[in-house]
Structure 1
Amino acid sequence: MLSFAETLRSAAASIRGHGLRSGLTALGLVVGVASVIAVVAIVQGLSHRIKEGFAGLGANSLTVKSYTRFEDKLQGRENRIGTADLDELVLRLDGVRDVSPVLPVFGPFGAEVRLAGKTAHTRVFATTPVYQYTRQNFPAQGRFITEADEKHRRRVAVVGAKLLDDLDATAAPIGKFVEIGGEWFKIVGVMEERGELFGISQDDFVLMPFATGLALLPDQVEPDIGITFNVEDVEKLDEVRDRATTLLRRKHGIKAGRENDFKVETAEQLTDSFASLFDTVTFVFAAIVGISMLVGGIGVMNMMLVSVTERTREIGIRKALGAKKRDILAQFLIEAVLLTTIGGAIGIGVGYALGYGAAQLIPSFPPAVLPWWATVAAFGFSAGVGIAFGIAPAARAAALDPMAALRNE
């Protein structure tokens, strides 16, 4: 009986002896693995950037936002979190600090901004001085909104670096006046740059005092605000979340058993939601692209069947010298697995290179990220293809009658 090392050496020698045929056979598997790895690397790169974005909220933060079912939206209904909800949380929720409302003043699509003859379109939010602490984002130039700005409803603005770049106003922006939605504001600060997410700049915005933003809303428009706050004791995070949920359900008159018209989420939950979504997308795309790996497996089976036919006399000689069925089975099965794992290894390298290159070619796209589990899965699947498509040819070789094999020319 041959040792495993000798069987492996024999398999490698057989693959080298038919280099061109082996290479063409492995090519199908290389293409399949490379396609899957490229898709996984690109999608996981997006997921990694999302997680980095939410990491800035901190482990002790909670976010409250309105929630409307899709069926209700179709009927024109829209739930909201208003200033009364904010007051309820500030007055009655213990164990929290840095309560920061965020109001999209001109709706989700923002407003036109003008400065010195230049025009840009950007998102416009109204918030309070503690926003910088809940979001861990601070001014790089000038100052942030102050309590005095809030109290007196001052027309001051803190802007993102991308907006200044669009307005050609990066040189000495502090103190300049900018027109936002037809109203004039004085720039008092420029926030730290945070890069891009999904190709969308996180530095393209305007912040103004919350009271000022409320005053700009038409009388008939009911505000819909998001509220972020920090929990003083992180170990009581779930307890505070439950109390906030109870307060808002009572405030909204939601009866027992009815679904909430709002969400209270931790930064970890927000991250996990996006991570789960991207993992699902990764799996679906990988499964679709992975079909091509089956084509590679069929090619392996075809090559191994040809190899068995060509080596019939060799098999007869080995059996005549005492080789057992399991020895012949192991020899051909190891050869198939070795071929597919080599193809898988090459495919992993090519796939990551393709994913990295594609991410670099797309403007503002996050770099590709290849998780360890994808590499392990690709190796495992490649070996599985070798076993699944190599077992039939190996079994056929093991079942050959030695006398008939010896008579074969």
Structure 2
Amino acid sequence: MLSFLESVRSALQSIYAHRFRSFLTSLGIIIGVASVIAVVSIVQGLSASISKEFKGLGSNSLTVEAYTTFEEALQGKENVLGLNDYERIVTHIDDISNVSPMFAPFGNFGTTVRAGATSTFTQVMAVTEAYMESAQVFPAQGRFLRASDDKSRRRVAVVGSKTLENLRLTGDPLGQFIDIGGEWFKIIGITEEKGESLGFSKDNYILIPFSVGQVIAGTTTKLNISISFTVDDIEQIDAVQGRVTSLLRQAHHLKPGQRNDFKVQTAQQLSESFESIISTLTLVLGGVVSISLLVGGIGIMNIMLVSVTERTREIGICKALGAQRHHILMQFLIEATTLSLLGGLVGLLLGYLIGFGAAKLIPNFPDAFVPWWAIAMAFGFSSLVGILFGIMPAAKAANLHPIDALRYE
């Protein structure tokens, strides 16, 4: 233990004596670790923000939507879900409630909405009364769509707060009329605010009765709906998901082994799919920027080899006074590892500051977040770099013959 402490003291003394050179030696590690931490903190901050949003969808909700593979899209094929699929789910699946079909009557990209001389572009969705519970969308003012609105095809609309802001409606918006794609609608409700994500508002939309959306779309348009519903008993969510999948496979005449042309997903599965994408993105980006850690390690090895050459006579004196091979090896190895660890610590702080600053510069971007495993990875990889690239110089110093070292000029 005494020899170890002496090696640590000697290594720190050498680093302090050559402060500027030590800083330049660690610079590669600092840049490498800072790059990795900055990328990881930004991506993980985004992941945490999106995961939080998925949790707000409700753990007992299921969403069914059409799925078209990339190969099928290249062939001009598009799989769709129709009203008959919705009716099958309502008729044949038990233990579910708040079943709501929905589609975009003006297209997925939305349409122009006008109020007086002001106009804006927003997404319009045709939904039923059940959509409120299945999608967790509640009115802050007024009321939500009712079954009677759908039955009588009333031209009424529930508007998101951001859309209302864009239209610059003065006074009480309830009861006022707006032009949606050339059709007049009466505002009956304003939904609760959900904020923004990645600079995009989650309150920029309009909901209209499903039957009205069908009329607007016309009979010539083939509807492609998505279906959302809640499972009464959360313990049965996997069983219900399996029954819906079997029902739709049978209805779509899919053979055993044939890929589904639809997706049945829970909010948790949607979150897991996103987290899988984020993990892959983190791994790829982290791997690219971590190449600089390899460059930093080579820099440490080069400087340590120079240090061994400079201190050859010192090593000879130590050996002549009785220093063993492992003492010399430990001293130079500790010096290389300390340089890497110091570089890792500075790089960690710098990387977080860069990630935090970059997240703040992007409007409405979630705050940077550094997970514990990223911190452990930064210090662990720094230590590994110091040990791996310090072994060669340390071994060279330890293997010097004391007589040759003392005669070195």
Does TM, scored on the shorter chain, surpass 0.5? yes
Cα distance in 2 for residues equivalent to 1:262 and 1:133: 23
Matched position secondary structure for 1:247: helix
Query: Could you say which residue in structure 2 is the equivalent of 1:288?
Result: 288
Q: Is the contact between residue 198 and residue 363 of structure 2 (CA under 8 Å) also seen in structure 1?
A: no
Query: Alignment partner of 1:101: what SS?
Result: strand
Answer yes or no: is the 8 Å Cα contact 1:160–1:191 preserved in 2: yes
* Separation in 1, partners of 2:132, 2:320: 82
The letter for the 2-side match of 1:15 is I
Contact 1:333 1:386 survives alignment (8 Å)? yes
| In structure 2, C-alpha distance between the alignment counterparts of 1:126 and 1:312, rounded to whole Å | 81
Counterparts of 2:135 and 2:387, CA distance in 1: 52
Provide the C-alpha distance between the structure 1 equivalents of 2:125 and 2:4, rounded to a whole number of angstroms: 68
Secondary structure of the residue that 1:91 maps to in structure 2? helix
Deviations 1:175-208 (A, max 9, x none): 1111111111111111111122232211110011
1:226 aligns with 2:229: no
- Taking structure 2 as the reference length, what is the TM-score of the superposition? 0.97
Structure 1 residue 5: Cα displacement:
2.9
Identity of aligned residues (%): 55
Describe the superposition over 1:327-372 as per-residue Cα deviations: whole angstroms up to 9, x where unpaired. Answer: 2111111111111111111111111111111111112222212121
Deviations 1:287-312 (A, max 9, x none): 11111122211111111111111211
Segment drifting more, 347-356 vs 207-216:
207-216
Residue identity opposite 1:247 in structure 2: L
The equivalent of 1:144 in structure 2 is 144
| Distance (Å, rounded) in 1 between the aligned partners of 2:325 and 2:269 | 56
Say if 2:106 is the partner of 1:96.
Answer: no
Alpha-carbon shift at residue 234 of structure 1 (Å): 1.3
Superposition deviation, residue 169 in structure 1? 2.1
The count of residues paired between Structure 1 and Structure 2 equals: 409
Q: How does 1:106-117 map to 2 (within 5 A)?
A: 106-117=106-117
Query: Is the 2:3–2:327 contact (alpha carbons within 8 Å) kept by the matching residues of 1?
Result: no
Following the alignment from structure 1 to structure 2, what is the Cα–Cα distance between the partners of residues 321 and 233? 79
Amino acid at match of 1:271: S
Aligned to 2:325: 325
For residue 366 of structure 1, what is the aligned residue in structure 2? 366
CA contact (8 A) 2:359 2:366 kept: yes
Unaligned 5+ runs, structure 2: none
Distance in 2 (CA, whole Å) between partners of 1:76 and 1:218 is 23
Deviation, 1:125, is: 0.4
The offset of 1:170, in angstroms, is 6.3
**Rounded Cα–Cα distance in structure 2 between residues aligned with 1:37 and 1:171:** 49
Q: What is the 5 A alignment of 1:204-353?
A: 204-353=204-353
Secondary structure at 1:22 match in 2: helix
Rounded Cα–Cα distance in structure 1 between residues aligned with 2:354 and 2:260? 45
Give, in angstroms, the shift of residue 398 of structure 1: 0.8
Counterpart in the other structure of 2:173: 173
Conserved 8 A contact 1:164-1:170: no
In 1, the alpha carbon distance for the partners of 2:79 and 2:236 equals 28
Partner of 1:135: 135
**Alpha carbon RMSD of aligned pairs, Å?**
1.4
Structure 1, unmatched stretches of 5+, are: none
Distance 2:172 2:13 in 1: 71
Regions of 4+ moved over 4 Å:
none
- Provide the rounded CA distance (Å) in 2 between the counterparts of 1:247 and 1:65: 14
Contact 1:114 1:178 in 2 (8 A): yes
SS of the equivalent of 2:103 reads: strand
Aligned partners of 1:17 and 1:52: how far apart in 2? Answer: 50
Contact 2:100/2:131 (<8 A) preserved: yes
Which residue identity is paired with 1:334? I
**Which piece of structure 1 moves more, 111-120 or 170-179?**
170-179
Asked if the contact 1:161/1:170 (under 8 Å) is kept, the reply is: no
